[in-house]
Structure 1
Amino acid sequence: MKITDEYIYRQPEKYQVILLHLISVFEQEIPELKLLFKWGIPYFYYNKKPFCYLAPNHRKGFVDAGFSRGFQLKGNQESLVGEKRNTVKSLRYYDLETIDNAVLIEVIREAVLLYA
């Protein structure tokens, strides 16, 4: 079992289902993504460059999908969280039901264009 899988399956169920859903959407949209374990969390790389991390925050009860070039994104600003970060903006999910797949897919598709 890969270290990313071990990390995900050690998470409480709430975070595990969110992480697994996000991973499936990312991989369906961009099959070339590589899911690695960097800085203690699952991190997608695209063309050998950091693309998006998936970070559960147990204290605050959410999973962050943090896009490495998030501040360059133009669309879906009402859904993206910047929070005192210089480059990363994230989509934040408190439970599986709050994931808007349409917004997630739009952000993924726009973000991949930043790597062209």
Structure 2
Amino acid sequence: MVFLVNFITFVKIQKEAYCLSLFMKPAEEYILNQPEPFKSILLHLQILIEATFSEVDLQFKWKIPFYYLNEKPFCYLNPSKKKGYVDVVFWVSAHLTKYNEHLISENRKVVKSLRYFKIEDINEEILLSVLKEAHSLKGKGFYKRN
């Protein structure tokens, strides 16, 4: 009898999860399916970005969560399970001037990112400042031209 009750409960939970996933964007589902601490970091970043910029559109491109503004790339969230961090990568990083000492460009020619190993690493003041600067540069191209 206990097995039957547990099985019915399991089926109900699976059905609810399936119904919920029908209404979620692929990027949201990707975030919720990440192991900890990546899931907590990604959810916190998602809340901060979407609360600050209501016009952003979260999409699932290149197998990662990618934010678009006016149908143009804005930033993306890149969890590296192998190295244990989440990067917030900025599309217009060639033009960014604020908090350059916090922006990481290792082994990358064009993009820069803010990197977080745990949720406590997220300095909201720095993140929001860089996001707002990137937002103000949304008309700029990927590369900095003279």
- C-alpha RMSD over aligned residues: 0.9
Of structures 1 and 2, the one with the larger relative CO (CA 8 A, separation 6+) is: 1
Aligned counterpart for 1:72 among listed residues 70, 95, 98: 95
Give the partner amino acid of 1:107: V
Count of equivalent residues: 116
Determine helix, strand or coil for the equivalent of 2:41: helix
Q: 1:46 is aligned with what amino acid?
A: L
Task: State the shift of 1:57 in Å.
Answer: 0.2
Q: Structure 2 regions of 5+ residues with no counterpart?
A: 1-23, 140-146
More strand by share: 1
Larger Rg over CA atoms:
2
Letter in 2 for 1:33: V
CA drift of 1:87 comes to: 2.2
Matched to 1:65, the amino acid is: V
Aligned residues with identical type, % of pairs? 46
Is 1:13 aligned to 2:13, yes or no? no
Q: Select which of 112, 121, 124 maps to 1:101.
A: 124
* Structure 1 or 2: more helix by fraction: 2
Deviation at 1:84, TM superposition (A): 2.7
What secondary structure does 2:31 align onto? helix
Checking the alignment, whether the CA contact within 8 Å between 2:25 and 2:59 is kept in structure 1 is no
Q: Could you list the runs of 4 or more consecutive aligned residues of structure 1 that deviate by over 4 angstroms after TM superposition?
A: none
Structure 1 CA distance for aligned equivalents of residues 108 and 92 of structure 2: 11
CA distance in 1 between partners of 2:110 and 2:134 (Å):
13
Equivalent residue of 1:12, what SS? coil
Please, which runs of 5 or more residues in structure 1 have no aligned partner? Answer: none
One-letter code aligned to 1:72: H
Match of 1:46 among 60, 69, 90: 69
2:110 aligned partner: 87
- Aligned partner letter, 2:81: H
The residue identity in structure 2 corresponding to 1:76 is Y
State the one-letter code of the partner of 1:67. Answer: F
Instruction: Return the offset for 1:86.
Output: 2.5
